[in-house]
Chains A and B, each alone.
Chain A
Amino acid sequence: MALLAVRDLTVDLQTTRGVARAVRGVSFELAKGGTLGVVGESGCGKSITALALMGLLPEGARTSGRIDLDGTDLLSLGEDALCGMRGNRIAMIFQEPMTSLNPVHRIGRQIAEPLRQHRGLRGAKARAEAIRLLDRVGLPNAAQRVDAYPHQLSGGQRQRVMIAMALSCDPDILIADEPTTALDVTIQGQILDLINELVDESGMALILISHDLGVIAETTDDVVVMYGGSLVEHGPTDSLFDTLAHPYSQGLFAAIPDIGGRHDRRLTTIPGTVPELADLPPGCPFADRCPLAADDCWSTEPPMRQVLPGHQAACLRLEAAAAGRANGGRGDD
């Protein structure tokens, strides 16, 4: 049985423009020790899905579906039970290391907090464990830095502190929401390597949210591609990157700048913008921006169809998309 099974997860958010359906019937599974990449543009529902897993959705959000962790439906748990899960069985690191640590507390105390909360560690024991964790995530001089305040650390160091904090109680699942986006390019690789290393070492499962396809390809076993709150493609990383069955996945991939390519070539972009979740049209959410869209794309919600075993895409024009990729795809440039 999968460690985490998300079934038909739907999240409605209260916005100033009314109710927005931010996540629409999303389903996926994560095995123990598995790694899953979540890809998509800003506003596609990646982060909201992650917050739903943590039970930390904004005030007034409504959910339906199931999130089963080891057979327990997290959506049915009360606040107290969820507090026992967060930071203990599911931990999360966020995009903004600069603002994700409390400026008025020493980092040692902030790392010791989950230890105290879930393991009952206090005082010298908690401190020793915090130092060990800081050392483990590669913060130089951990024994001294444990008393530092966040503003005395760089962005990369702060993200290491965040990772130490997430790691503190040996969670089953680590959710990393764009963990390197806010960092210098030189630091990004180090942080990703660290996350990979820790995942391998501890056997925890990883959900890595990113819009950086390169990062996802290197790190994860499986990928889901999200658009407009829905899953549009889902499969093993290799298969998905080989096939790129969905026109949106193709568009995302084509939009990566080609380092070896000619400089006078314009970057390929996907025309249009991400739709407002509050007023998504019926039919396929991507229809407005899709080069292959036909009349029925605007009226019929595309079902998930199998591309290869274990690899599905939600598109009515899968065959046309496959043909397009064979003829005019990036690989033939």
Chain B
Amino acid sequence: MFLARRFLTFLVTIWGASVIIFLMLEVLPGDPALTMLGVDAPDSAVEALRRDLGLDRPATERYLSWIGGLFRGELGLSYTYQVPVTELIAQRLEVTLPLALGAMLLATLVSLSLGIFAATNHNKVGDYGVIGFSQLGLAIPDFWFGILLIILFAVILQWTSSGGFPGWDEGFWRCIQALLLPVFTLALSLSAIMTRVTRSSVLEVAREDYVRTARAKGLSRRATLWRHVLRNALIPVLTINGLLFANVLAGTIVIENVFALPGIGKLIFGAITNRDLMVVKNVVLILGAMVMVVNFIVDVLYAVVDPRIRIHT
């Protein structure tokens, strides 16, 4: 019941996002064809492009054909690349998905360990150390940290390449190696935020009455932490981590440019610069959908972690 309702919300949100994207890019004043070609373009060329893009048709018809195309997997042709947008996005996702998910995974692992460590050493040296690290992680800009990593590992130590992506056909490990520095860079500020959330959440739950009950049963501190504190502390952590996924995707735009990775972030950056309407509109929708899928998964996990959500909602 909870899941069915949550899934419905998910569908409605995606539909809403598609309407907003469409309105912003194609209906609001300003001629996409003119924007794409520049104001100096001859009228005849603009007209031709308008016809190519189907801009001469009424807005509702254009919207419906876009959505219909989405279901069939036909997203039109990229104006700059002259290849189907579907193909373009699929290729780029092969880079961006591992990058984003890798950064999420790494940040989650780091933040859970550091956050729990800090909370169990509350007001001791270890705690201050972790707070210091997270302060630093928040203060360092992503792109600058990326450049530092390149200088250290690619230029000085020469352990990895400074950027680029060989493609998955060229071997799994080579690709992982190419993604290593970008994943680290992206995970830095991410794990800084997540660590803080985890730490404060664990500290808060540790003060709960049921934790005292667990100790009164004779459970050791460690057993109490694992069996009674963590599962409850996970609830706010899940929320924040889900919301941060949007930041990760936004972060890929910068990181993929720093490391010259052919991913979605780089694609949309280029597409916006080149005013490649077909690409922009579909990529924005895909990015939105990814954020929504992640948050849908987070909600499902809620229900797994907390029985009260399963029954009450």
Contact = CB atoms under 8 A, between A and B. Distances in A.
- Do A and B interact with each other, yes or no? yes
Interface of A: 54, 56, 59, 79-80, 83-88, 91-92, 94, 96, 99-105, 113-114, 117-118, 149, 151-152, 162, 165-166
B228 interface: yes
Interface in B204-262: 208-210, 212-221, 227-228, 231-232
A201 B156 CA distance: 77
Contacts of B97: none
Contacts of A114: 217-218
Contact of A103 (B214, B219, B220, B307): B307
5 contacts: A56-B216, A91-B217, A94-B209, A118-B218, A165-B217
Contacts of B216: 54, 56, 86-87, 91-92, 94, 166
B217 A151 contact: no
A199 to B, nearest CB: 18
Contacts of B306: 103-104
Contact of A100 (B122, B213, B218, B231): B213
Nearest to A114: B217
B308 interface: yes
A48 to B, nearest CB: 13
Given A56-B216, A103-B210, A103-B306, 20 more contacts: A54-B216, A59-B122, A79-B220, A86-B216, A86-B218, A87-B217, A87-B219, A88-B218, A94-B213, A94-B216, A99-B210, A100-B213, A102-B210, A103-B307, A104-B231, A104-B232, A104-B305, A113-B219, A114-B218, A117-B219
B101 to A, nearest CB: 27
Interface centre among B212, B217, B220, B227 (most CB of A within 10 A): B217
B218 A103 contact: no
B218 A80 contact: no
Contacts of A83: 218-220
A56 B217 CA distance: 11
B308 A101 contact: no
Contacts of A85: 218
A102 B307 contact: no
A54 B212 CA distance: 11
Interface of B: 122, 208-210, 212-221, 227-228, 231-232, 305-308, 311
A94 B213 CA distance: 8
Nearest to A118: B218
Contacts, number: 77
A113 B305 contact: no
B210 A101 contact: yes
A70 B306 CA distance: 42
Nearest to A89: B218
Nearest to A101: B210
Contact of A104 (B122, B214, B307, B311): B307
A99 B306 CA distance: 15
Contacts of B212: 56, 94, 100
A102 B214 contact: yes
B127 to A, nearest CB: 13
B215 to A, nearest CB: 6
A86 B306 CA distance: 28
B211 to A, nearest CB: 8
Contacts of B213: 94, 100-102, 162, 165
B217 A86 contact: yes
B142 to A, nearest CB: 36
Contacts of A99: 208-210
A126 B152 CA distance: 57
A129 to B, nearest CB: 14
B222 to A, nearest CB: 10
Contacts of A151: 307-308, 311
A36 B164 CA distance: 76
Contacts of A79: 220-221
A113 B217 contact: yes
A110 B122 CA distance: 27
Nearest to B223: A117
A80 B219 CA distance: 9
A14 to B, nearest CB: 11
Interface centre among B213, B228, B231, B305 (most CB of A within 10 A): B213
Contact of B215 (A84, A86, A101, A103): A86
B122 to A, nearest CB: 8
Contacts of A105: 227-228
